[in-house]
Structure 1
């Protein structure tokens, strides 16, 4: 099984790397349930993909019919009821005959018809026609982007904290210099306890000089 035949493997490898770097919970980061909802794939198929196993491929006609049924079940009307054939046909700009044939599995939609139905349900283009590996690759790619954002935010927060600590140390040194303390040394990594003791010492010196 190659990456060309199973494109999701590259995204899965990137996701593994991010999970390791960020020290995340594997069970949460690779929870298959959200991937089922975003791909329309059965849970068993998603699980196979996450374990790097070959994913079964259905005849396109059967696949489209199954994913249409998935959309009707998981993306209902605001009142919680499934959309009727007429509502889907009207929303997708299809004739009643075409929409009935598509939803009943009697006909395979053209790419244009599939795109209209995907737009109606608010899912990405290719939701109905992508292979299981392509569908999972798209969902994993979105997860990779989310984790990259989280990782970058954590790095930014750590950098801002480091800069704040440096600014605080420099301010203390300036105060000490103004009160005739001529030598202060921050050695090693300057643990929090050492910094707090030094800050109290400097503060007491400033109070005495005042």
Structure 2
């Protein structure tokens, strides 16, 4: 996360919801908290902590990762160890018999460059590994070091920001495709109009409609990452201007 911005899971979740509503997508699965691939799984936070943060609540003192009332160094150690245990519990391997089981400490230690005995002691004492070993453990499970060390709000916001970025990219790609279809229809309409009417009146009409719709599409894309209460009035204004422009051209062509 950038140091310029405080993590705000509630705001990011609202931005995701706005994009989902705009795209007509059901957000129930996208913002699912429980289960594999859910927000808890992806952030390393207990389900109840994720639910509390999404409500805008502060985690109770003494909750995993809240940092309240404890020594900061001790809290960081406890957070890292708790998330390593979380990874081992949730990132399972598939055995030859088809069953999914937790990785052994020996497997994890080999991947992290340490020993199973040391890992066992770390879990029992709650003393976190150094950054190199922590990074090795996170990498073994396909995660970054940030997964282990981020504070709860930041950990959840990181996941939500990734979801928002993915949705935004999909929205932009869809809008680009829509604009390209409008351009193709514009070209086809112009060619058809020129053939039928000798190029008088029809091509300009078809091109203007396509251009107007393209302008609105570009505006929607440019404002996709802007809060709805700001973006919607701007898009509505552009749509209104484009509509008046089409009506004026229609009157002039009569």
Scaled by the length of structure 1, the TM-score of the pair is: 0.74
- Tell me the distance in 2 between the aligned counterparts of 1:183 and 1:97: 83
1:47 pairs, out of 46, 51, 56, with: 51
* Higher gyration radius (CA): 1
Q: Does 1:67 align with 2:87?
A: no
- Tell me the distance in 1 between the aligned counterparts of 2:109 and 2:57: 37
Scaled by the length of structure 2, the TM-score of the pair is: 0.63
| Correspondence list, 1:19-34, <5 A | 19-33=20-34, 34=38
Aligned to 1:15: 16
- Tell me the distance in 1 between the aligned counterparts of 2:8 and 2:130: 24
Deviations 1:128-167 (A, max 9, x none): 2211111111101110111111110121121012112111
Aligned to 2:94: 78
- Structure 1 pair 134–183 and aligned structure 2 pair: CA distance change class (3 A): closer
Cα shift at 1:84: 1.3
Q: Conserved in 2, the CA contact under 8 Å of 1:176 and 1:182?
A: no
Aligned to 2:236: none
Q: Conserved in 1, the CA contact under 8 Å of 2:190 and 2:202?
A: no
- Tell me the distance in 1 between the aligned counterparts of 2:201 and 2:92: 71
Deviates more, 1:63-72 or 1:24-33: 24-33
- Structure 1 pair 126–161 and aligned structure 2 pair: CA distance change class (3 A): same
| Correspondence list, 1:132-171, <5 A | 132-171=152-191
